[in-house]
Amino acid sequence: MAQTGNIPPISVSGVCKTYRDGFKAVKKVSFDIKSGDFTVLLGLNGAGKTSMISMITGLNHISSGTIRIFGDDISKKPYRAKSHMAIMPQEINFNPFSKISDSLVFHGGYYGIPPEEVMRRAEPLLKKARLLKKIEQPVSSLSGGMKRMLMLIRCLIQKPKLLILDEPTANLDIEIRKTIWDLLQLEHGKGMTTLLTTHNLEEAQILCSNVLILHHGELVLDRSIDDAIEGLEEKFYSIHFDDPISAKHLHGFSAYHAEKRSDHKASFRISGDQDIGHLVYKLHLAGLKITNIAPSSHQLEQLLHQATL
């Protein structure tokens, strides 16, 4: 088994994908993902994200170039390369007639995890997802959102060193999305490397520290989100307040394009010679007690917009 210490979990080198009809979906893409990174792969519809993910996960043939997973070439040693990763595809792929517990035990067995260990690992996750009471029910009795949570739990019981998620929260309500985000943050905190595709920029902003952007099959951005945002001329922040805010509170902040987002949250734009320190001072003078300041998903929207012009 390869030493996995300093070897990148994902190393993509000069990768191209040309489909049978001659369409070039991925064009000479190279990037490395470092151990412990949480990276989002962004791009407009048809940019080549799923083509890229499918090659990384060994589901799709690579036309040219190399992909290594912890040093193992996915084309030459697919079994070994795949043994390091768990994949959450976009489509639900359970046997609907299996009981929840059986579907987890079956999946664990595929990775050599004994049934009692599968259930030991699954229990706290199922509890968090409020599925524990349902484990003796068939998968078909779960809602679409619950099935997606179960797909994530199925990945996590593998304790993968690398987790790859293709649009994990598409079309889910905010409560299930948040549960999935919580589970991902919790597991990521234990050292897992994660690659995610999503069209939900709030999700990317909350979870990820690095961003890759594909555009017409070419990699046009590969940076940390903080660095990429630093280079933007306009920056957007979400500021949370201790007390509920009203439109009146934000009246004096039109120069910052202040917009109320919820009872305790508003967004602000910093551009030109404005700076966040001065905004914080002005909010303080206006009697607004700040509890949190975070870059807003507007920033990623702007990055994506700039990178795909």
Ligand X SMILES: Nc1ncnc2c1ncn2[C@@H]1O[C@H](COP(=O)(O)OP(=O)(O)OP(=O)(O)O)[C@@H](O)[C@H]1O
> Footprint of Mg ion on this chain (CB under 5 A)?
49-50
- β-partners of residue 40 are 196, 211
Single out the segment in contact with ligand X by CB under 6 A; choices: 7-15, 39-47, 73-81, 126-134.
39-47
Nearer to ligand X, 9 or 217 (CB): 217
Task: Identify whether the C-beta of residue 101 lies closer than 8 Å to the C-beta of residue 135.
Answer: yes
Displacement of CA 24 from its chain's centroid (Å): 25
Q: How far is the CB of 50 from Mg ion (least distance, A)?
A: 3
- What token pair was written down for 271? 């551009």
The length of the chain, given as a count of residues: 309
Task: Identify whether the C-beta of residue 150 lies closer than 8 Å to the C-beta of residue 100.
Answer: yes
Nearer to Mg ion, 36 or 89 (CB): 89
Nearer to ligand X, 43 or 145 (CB): 43
Residue 112's region, left for phi above 0, alpha for psi from -120 to 50, else beta, is left
Q: How far is the CB of 293 from ligand X (least distance, A)?
A: 31
Task: Identify whether the C-beta of residue 276 lies closer than 8 Å to the C-beta of residue 237.
Answer: yes
Q: How far is the CB of 65 from Mg ion (least distance, A)?
A: 20
For residue 91, the partner it binds in ligand X, Mg ion, none, with Cβ less than 5 to 8 A by kind, is none
For residue 48, the partner it binds in Mg ion, ligand X, none, with Cβ less than 5 to 8 A by kind, is ligand X
Nearer to ligand X, 216 or 265 (CB): 216
Single out the segment in contact with ligand X by CB under 6 A; choices: 21-29, 121-129, 136-144, 279-287.
21-29
Nearer to ligand X, 51 or 200 (CB): 51
Nearer to Mg ion, 99 or 199 (CB): 199
- What token pair was written down for 30? 């190279």
19 binds ligand X (CB under 6 A): yes
The position carrying tokens 């509920």 is 244
Single out the segment in contact with ligand X by CB under 6 A; choices: 19-27, 168-176, 222-230, 252-260.
19-27
Q: CA–CA separation, 34 vs 11, rounded Å?
A: 9
| Alpha helix (H) residue ranges in 172-293 | 174-188, 201-207, 225-230, 276-285
Task: Identify whether the C-beta of residue 187 lies closer than 8 Å to the C-beta of residue 165.
Answer: no
Nearer to Mg ion, 63 or 83 (CB): 63
Site string for ligand X, 44-63 (x = CB under 6 A): -xxxxxxx------------
Residue from 8, 9, 43, 145 binding ligand X (CB under 6 A) = 43
Q: 181 by DSSP, 3-state: which?
A: helix
- What token pair was written down for 309? 């012009």
For residue 97, the partner it binds in Mg ion, ligand X, none, with Cβ less than 5 to 8 A by kind, is none
Q: Identify each DSSP E strand in the chain by its residue range.
A: 10-18, 24-33, 38-42, 64-69, 72-73, 85-88, 162-166, 193-197, 210-215, 218-224, 235-241, 259-262, 265-270, 290-295
- Number of chain residues interacting with ligand X (CB under 6 A): 12
Residue from 25, 149, 196, 279 binding ligand X (CB under 6 A) = 25
Listed residue (11, 36, 83, 38) closest to 225, CA to CA:
38
Single out the segment in contact with ligand X by CB under 6 A; choices: 40-48, 103-111, 144-152, 233-241.
40-48
Nearer to ligand X, 6 or 45 (CB): 45
Binding interface with ligand X (CB under 6 A)? 19, 21, 23, 25, 43, 45-51
